[in-house]
A = this chain, B = another copy of it.
Amino acid sequence: MDFEPKITTGSTSPIFRQIVDQVRLAVAHGRLTEGNQLPSVRALAERLLINANTVAKAYAELNAAGVIDTQAGRGVFIAKPRQPYSAAERRRRLEPRLDALLTEALHLGFTLDQIAELLRERARRLADSNSSGKSS
| Distance in angstroms between the alpha carbons of A12 and B28 in the assembled complex | 24
Beyond contacts A84-B89, A94-B110, A102-B119: 9 other A-B pairs, Cβ-Cβ < 8 A, are: A9-B74, A21-B100, A25-B103, A29-B106, A85-B85, A93-B108, A98-B101, A101-B101, A101-B119
User: Hey, what's the 0/1 contact readout for A64-84 against B, CB within 8 Å counting as 1?
Assistant: 101101011110010000111
| Distance in angstroms between the alpha carbons of A6 and B73 in the assembled complex | 19
State the copy count for this chain: 4
User: Hey, what's the 0/1 contact readout for A115-127 against B, CB within 8 Å counting as 1?
Assistant: 1101110110010
Do the beta carbons of B99 and A126 come within 8 Å of each other? yes
Taking the nearest CB of chain B, how far is it from the CB of A25, in angstroms? 5
A132 is an interface residue with CB less than 8 A from chain B: no
Do the beta carbons of A106 and B72 come within 8 Å of each other? no
- What's the interface size class on A, roughly? 35 or more
Nearest 4 Cβ contacts at the A-B interface:
A84-B89, A28-B106, A24-B107, A98-B122
Residues of chain B within 8 A (CB-CB) of A95 are 118, 122
| Distance in angstroms between the alpha carbons of A108 and B97 in the assembled complex | 12
Taking the nearest CB of chain B, how far is it from the CB of A9, in angstroms? 7
